[in-house]
């Protein structure tokens, strides 16, 4: 097994030096699922919650989460994201799928930004709906695709726990 990239020669946590890496176009797509009562999904879709439009707020939160990733994950590089998109797909009767895509031209990938964006969007949905459904579950947060960099394109295989 190769040495983890975030450990220095002494085995201490360390930010990876990307100064010698080439700039390339990079993309990452991640997802998260929120499972809830059917009535909660109905309320989200009909905008029938007192806190307002859940998906509009969660979309902004997902974008903000991706942009602030390096403030939350200690060894992530701050990246000048060029595009963050947040999509929602209702899967009645009880599931809401969140998909976040991040793009950058840079020296390091945007996987963590996409994963953070999906997680923050899911947490925002929980926050906005908890008054009517405290039993919601956030599940299956994972990377679906990454492009760019030395390792090229990677796509999750069917059966790896993702849709």
Tokens linked to 5: 């990239």
- Of the chain, the percentage scoring pLDDT greater than 90 comes to 76
Farthest CA pair distance, the chain = 55
User: How many C-beta atoms lie closer than 10 Å to residue 61's C-beta?
Assistant: 21
Instruction: Reply yes or no on whether the pLDDT at 161 is more than 60.
Output: no
pTM for this entry: 0.90
Higher pLDDT, 16 or 75: 75
Question: What separation in angstroms does the CA of 29 have from each of 5, 44, 99, 123?
Answer: 22, 24, 7, 18
Name which residue leads in pLDDT, 60 or 22: 60
Complete domains list, the chain, with CATH: 37-148 (3.30.70.640)
CB 28 within 8 A of CB 108: no
| Pair 118, 138: CB distance under 8 Å | no
Query: What is the overall mean pLDDT for the chain?
Result: 92
Q: What's the DSSP call for residue 126?
A: H
For residue 137, pLDDT beyond 50: yes
> Residue 60: which of 98, 30, 13 has the closest Cα?
98
**Average pLDDT estimate for 123-149:** 97
Residue-wise pLDDT for 40-81, tens only, equals: 999 999 998 988 999 999 999 999 999 999 999 998 999 999
| Alpha carbons 96 and 90: distance in angstroms, whole number | 5
* pLDDT single digits (tens) 105-114: 999 999 999 9
DSSP 15: -
Residues 6+ apart with CB under 8 A from 24: 105, 106, 107, 148, 149
In the predicted structure, residue 34 carries a pLDDT above the cut 60: yes
**Which of the pair, 148 or 8, is modelled with greater confidence?**
148
CB 45 within 8 A of CB 65: no
pLDDT mean over 153-157: 95
pLDDT at 89: 98
Could you tell me the pLDDT band of residue 158, with boundaries at 50, 70 and 90?
confident
Q: In angstroms, rounded to a whole number, what is the distance separating the alpha carbons of residues 71 and 146? A: 22
Cα atoms in the 13 Å half-sphere on the side-chain side of 95? 10
Any idea which residues carry the catalytic annotation? 127
- Give the pLDDT score at 19: 84
């Amino acid at each position: 097994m190769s040495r983890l990239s975030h450990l220095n020669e002494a085995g201490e946590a360390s930010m990876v030096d990307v100064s010698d890496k080439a700039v390339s176009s990079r993309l990452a797509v991640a997802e998260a699922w929120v499972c809830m009562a059917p009535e909660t999904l109905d309320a989200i879709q009909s905008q029938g919650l007192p806190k307002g439009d859940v998906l509009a707020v969660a979309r902004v939160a997902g974008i903000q989460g991706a942009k602030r990733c390096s403030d939350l994950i200690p060894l992530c590089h701050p990246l000048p994201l060029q595009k963050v998109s947040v999509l929602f797909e209702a899967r009645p009767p009880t599931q809401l799928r969140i998909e976040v895509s991040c793009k950058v031209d840079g020296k390091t990938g945007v996987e963590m930004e996409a994963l953070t964006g999906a997680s923050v969007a899911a947490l925002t949905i929980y926050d906005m709906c908890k008054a009517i459904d405290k039993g919601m579950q956030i599940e299956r947060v994972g990377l679906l695709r990454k492009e760019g960099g030395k390792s090229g394109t990677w796509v999750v295989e069917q059966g790896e726990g993702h849709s």
